[in-house]
Amino acid sequence: MRKLLLHPAAKPVVFVSCLLPLAWLVYAAVANQLGANPAEALIRATGDWTLRALCLVLAITPLRVITATPQLARFRRMLGLFVFFYGVLHLLSYSWFDMGFDIPDILHDIAKRPFILVGTLALVLLALLAATSFNRAIKALGGKRWQALHRTVYAVAGLAVLHFFWMRAGKNNFGEVAIYAAILGVLLGWRLWHRLRKRSAAPAGAAARRTAAGSPGR
C-alpha cells in the first residue's frame, strides 16, 4: 500500500477520482436525470460533495497516524483544494440557479438568511486556505504561522455543519446533518485527544531522560 501511494500515478488517479462527482452531475444534467427540480438537485449535490471532501481531508491525519502511513499526507493539499473547488461550485449553483447572478439580490439574501451567511463565511475561510496552500506561502508565513492559519479548517467544519443544519431546519430533516456532525465530531475529537496525549507524554518522557542521566554508570 505504501509503495502504491508513492507511485507517480497515485496523484493523477486521486485527481481524476475527485472529478468523478462533477462528471456525474454534468452527465445527469445533460441526460435530464436530476429529478423534477434539477437546480435544487445541483445546489444540494455540490454542497454534499463539499462536505464529503472536507470529511476526507480531515480523515487523512488520523489515518496516517493510526496506520503509520505517512505517505497519505502527500494527498492532503490536493484534497483540500477540491473542498474549495466543490464549495465554489456550490456557491455558483446557488448564485446562478436560485438568484440568476443578480449580485444585489445575492448580497441581500446572504445578509437576510443566516444559513447562507454562515456558508459564505466558511467559503471565505476556504478561499484563504486555498490561497496559502502552496510552498511559497508556507515560506512567506513561516511554519508556525502557516499551521495556525490552516487550523481554521476546524472552524470551517463547524460552520459547514451549522450551514447544513439551518438549511434543513425548515423541514425538520436532520438525519444527514447528524451523520456529518458525528463524522466531523469524531475526526476533530481524535485530534484533541491526540494532542492532549502528546502533551501528557512529553513531561513523562523528559522526567525519564533526567532520571536516566542521573543514574550510576552514566
| Alpha carbons 175 and 183: distance in angstroms, whole number | 13
**Other CB atoms within 10 A of residue 206 CB:** 10
Which among 24, 14, 17 is positioned nearest to 45, based on CA atoms? 24
Phi, psi of 217 (to 5 degrees): 90, 0
User: What are the tens digits of pLDDT across the range 17-70?
Assistant: 999 999 999 999 999 999 999 999 999 999 999 999 999 999 999 999 999 999
User: What are the tens digits of pLDDT across the range 179-216?
Assistant: 999 999 999 999 999 999 988 877 655 555 555 555 55
| Alpha carbons 30 and 93: distance in angstroms, whole number | 15
Report the first-to-last Cα separation within the chain, whole angstroms. 43
C-alpha cell at 26: 454534468
- Helices 114-131 & 143-150 angle (0-180, nearest 10): 160
Burial 7-40 (b: 16+ CB within 10 A, else e): eeeeeeebeeebeebbeebeebeeeeebeeeeee
Q: Indicate yes or no: pTM above 0.85.
A: yes
- pLDDT of 211 reads 58
User: What are the tens digits of pLDDT across the range 104-117?
Assistant: 999 999 999 999 99
